[in-house]
Amino acid sequence: MRSDTPAAHTAEADRLLRTAAQYPGDREPLLLQAAAHLELADDRPGATALYDDLLSGDPAAPHLIRALKAANLWEYGHEAEARAIIDGVRRARPSEAPPWEIVAETLEAHDELEEAEATLTEAATLLATDTPELPHPTISLLTTRHRVRRMLARDHDTWDTRADRLHPGPIPLDELHDPKRLWSLGSDDPAELQAEITRLRAELGTYRTALSRPFPVAVLHWPEAELTELLASYPELETEYPTYRAHLTDIEASLRELAAAGTPNLGIVRATVPSYEAFAASETSSPANADLLPQYTTTLAARARAVPWPPLTTAPCWCGSERTYGECHGGAQDGSPAGT
């Protein structure tokens, strides 16, 4: 079965719901993923039912769930209810960027550019502080605001300038967000078309950075004690992990490569031997089977066990050292710890 068919998305939603029953502590992120798959299967009422189920309890991210519900409702004809939810999210003034960005993109998708810009400006006022570094979700919000304002032909303001400065891609945001670019897609000039393909590829790394769906692309991290225990019990895996230092370097290098390719929503999941052994047993396989490692990683990520990458340079490094990320893995070009 192809992975992008409605039937495949329905099957994946069913699998996630079964997993949620097995791991009730991870129910919220699993149901959010299931709802997203139901939306992709065009079962929007089914997705709404899952959002309502989550909101009937005491969810950890109520504003995010309401924003996702509003986006879903508007897509199948419930505009008035969606607008009411969006107004409620804005009044609540969430302290996280994703709900703001989702409701703004919902308004943008339905040609409500003025309201989308107003929403993003409210969020920027609240979240885009004068600190030297901003969390990546807030940077994404400023990038979205830049795009909407470009479509409205607004002059640059302080936040637009900051979005330009924080943009990591080779093509400036003004060019990426130029409304006139649409006309170039109808060109007969191969050089123009190739240039636009290059721009679109660059834009994939910044446009709709997957904040609206909790689908982290995660890499597995074995803490040193856990890796030692793993290799003592299953020496067959030594080809995967020749040394602990190499393991850490591979993690950082892999994530940098994914980021350079425009992959959004990256994360790291921390492994333990008992958890991995339990997963292998659930798959009726041996922990020595290296093919299980990617599946184990995906399962942990689906259960919201991923820590976002990269951390701020002033935050503790993901590897567990006592140094900041900027002093440790974040300070080297090859992914190895800085200063070693």
Cβ(179)–Cβ(151) below 8 Å: yes
- Domain membership of residue 307 (yes or no) is yes
- Using CA atoms, how far apart are residues 272 and 244, in angstroms rounded to an integer? 15
pLDDT, one tens digit per residue, over 225-280 is 999 999 999 999 999 999 999 999 999 999 999 888 777 778 999 999 999 998 89
Q: Are residue 204 and residue 285 in the same domain, yes or no? A: no
Query: Does residue 228 lie in a domain region?
Result: yes
Looking at the fold, whether 226 and 150 belong to one and the same domain comes out as: no
In a domain, 41, yes or no: no
Mean pLDDT of the chain: 87
pLDDT of 13 strictly over 80: yes
pLDDT score of 126: 96
Instruction: Determine the pLDDT at residue 333.
Output: 63
Same domain, 197 and 254: no
Residue 218 phi, psi (nearest 5): -115, 155
Question: Does a structural domain hold residue 267?
Answer: yes
Asked whether residue 176 falls in the same domain as residue 230, the answer is no
Does a structural domain hold residue 28?
no
The residue among 212, 238, 272 that closes a domain is 212
* 294 has pLDDT over 50: yes
Position 66 pLDDT exceeds 90: yes
Same domain, 229 and 187: no
Enumerate residues 6+ apart whose C-beta is below 8 A from 121: 145, 159
Based on the domain organization, do 151 and 169 belong to the same domain? yes
Q: Are residues 205 and 119 in the same domain?
A: yes
Query: Residue 307: beta bridge partners?
Result: 268
Q: 212 pLDDT exceeds 60?
A: no
Contact criterion met (CB below 8 Å) for 222 and 271: yes
pLDDT score of 175 more than 90: no
Average pLDDT for 299-318: 87
Looking at 212, 228, 250, which one is the last position of a domain? Answer: 212
Work out the pLDDT band at 206, boundaries 50, 70, 90: very low
Position 201 scores a pLDDT of 62
Is 42 a member of any domain?
A: no
Q: SS3 of 262, please? A: coil
Q: Is the pLDDT of residue 65 over 90?
A: yes
Report how many domains make up the chain. 2
| 188 shares its domain with 272 | no
Maximum average pLDDT range among 5-9, 106-110, 259-263 = 106-110
What is the pLDDT averaged over residues 147-151?
A: 92
In a domain, 84, yes or no: no
Q: Are strands 266-270 and 217-221 parallel, antiparallel or unpaired?
A: parallel
Mark whether 150 and 185 lie in a shared domain: yes
Asked whether the whole model's pTM tops 0.85, one would answer no
> Is 327 found in the same domain as 232?
yes
Residue that terminates a domain, selected from 186, 212, 238: 212
Query: What is the average per-residue pLDDT within 32-59?
Result: 94
Same domain for 207 and 222, yes or no, is no
Q: In sequence order, which residues have a C-beta less than 8 Å from that of residue 76 and are 6 or more positions away? A: 44, 45
- Asked if residue 325 belongs to a domain, the reply is yes
More confident residue, 145 or 137: 145
On whether both 117 and 172 belong to a single domain, the answer is: yes
Question: Which residue range is the domain that position 139 belongs to?
Answer: 96-212
